[in-house]
């Protein structure tokens, strides 16, 4: 997939899937806009990639910051063709009855409102350009309750519906919206999950998790016409047919 002339905005780009996606899209000749709260990490990554990358410190939970980031991207590269909603948190892992209301709400602010803010900020730009792609990192937690993950499950279920809403309202304007459920990925989040010692996912061996470049490469494939049949839906990297289509197996 050649992304020459296209600009990709990635939230949560400081590490894990977001950082790997930045590298994969840069290798495909895309301009990449790196968003995260970790200013030093995205600055280092932008330096690694080179002149086709810019780093913008941003808290996705604040719409004003997301809107400003889109304007900065437009000023730097002239377009925002792809938005990857990757930013997400799972801490603090806690049973609902003992959860801290403010901390529970902060996860919703990042995982759900952050996705809405990104969509809301780029949609006018994409509609004006008569097309664009919005890719959102989902999870099996969107479809199944998991012990002590009420905040994460609720936010991912809502995000799945946000993607479907974008498809319903904007597909006629050339805007593609697809979710990606990557499964368990060898990232810092999985270390946090393992440290909690709660529920079967925390008991998985590290080698059971897929590398972060797998979902990153899948996100690039999702920008191609081969993924058009999944618009408005969610694909899973647990699906061998998807892995084969992407070239992972």
Averaged in consecutive runs of 10 residues, what is the pLDDT profile of the chain (249 residues)? 96 95 98 95 97 97 98 98 96 95 96 98 98 96 93 96 98 98 81 84 78 94 97 95 93
- Please report, in angstroms and rounded to a whole number, the separation of the first and last CA atoms in the chain: 18
Q: Per-residue DSSP letters for 215-239?
A: HHHHHHHHTSGGGGGGTTSEEETT-
pLDDT at 52 (0 to 100): 97
pLDDT of residue 119: 98
Question: What's the pLDDT score for residue 183?
Answer: 81
Beta strands per DSSP E along the chain: 7-11, 31-36, 53-57, 82-85, 132-137, 175-181, 234-236
Within 8 A by CB and 6+ apart from 114, the residues are: 11, 60, 61, 66, 85, 87, 88
Q: Kindly give, in sequence order, each residue whose CB lies less than 8 Å from that of residue 159, ignoring residues fewer than 6 positions away.
A: 85, 111, 112, 115, 136, 138, 142, 179
Q: Per the residue annotation, which of 25, 152, 214, 221 is the catalytic one?
A: 152
116 among known catalytic residues: no
**pLDDT score, position 80:** 98
CA distance 113 to 53: 25
Could you give the domains of the chain? 7-89+100-183+214-246 (3.40.50.720)
- Residue 185: predicted pLDDT: 79
Record the pTM: 0.94
């Amino acid at each position: 997939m050649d992304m020459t002339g296209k600009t990709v905005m990635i939230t949560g780009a400081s590490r894990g899937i977001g950082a790997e996606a930045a590298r994969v899209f840069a290798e495909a000749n895309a301009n990449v806009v790196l968003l995260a709260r970790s200013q030093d990490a995205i600055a280092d990554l932008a330096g690694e990639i080179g002149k086709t990358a810019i780093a913008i410190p941003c808290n996705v939970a604040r719409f004003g910051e997301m809107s400003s980031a889109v304007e900065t991207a437009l000023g730097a590269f002239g377009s925002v063709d792809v938005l990857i909603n990757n930013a997400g948190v799972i801490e603090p892992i806690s049973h609902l009855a003992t959860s801290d209301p403010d901390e529970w709400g902060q996860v919703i602010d990042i995982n759900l409102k952050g996705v809405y803010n990104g969509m809301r900020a780029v949609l006018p730009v994409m509609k004006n350009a008569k097309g664009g792609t919005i890719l959102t990192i989902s999870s099996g937690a969107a479809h199944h309750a998991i012990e002590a993950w009420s905040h994460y499950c609720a936010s991912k279920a809502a995000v799945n519906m946000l993607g479907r809403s974008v498809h319903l309202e904007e597909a006629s304007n050339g805007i593609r919206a697809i979710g990606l459920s990557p499964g368990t990925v060898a990232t810092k989040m999985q270390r946090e999950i393992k440290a909690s010692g709660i529920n079967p996912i925390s008991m998985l061996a590290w080698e059971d998790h897929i590398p972060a470049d797998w979902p990153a490469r899948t996100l690039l494939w999702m920008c191609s016409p081969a993924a058009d049949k999944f618009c408005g839906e969610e694909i899973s990297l647990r699906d061998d047919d998807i892995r084969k289509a992407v070239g992972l197996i």
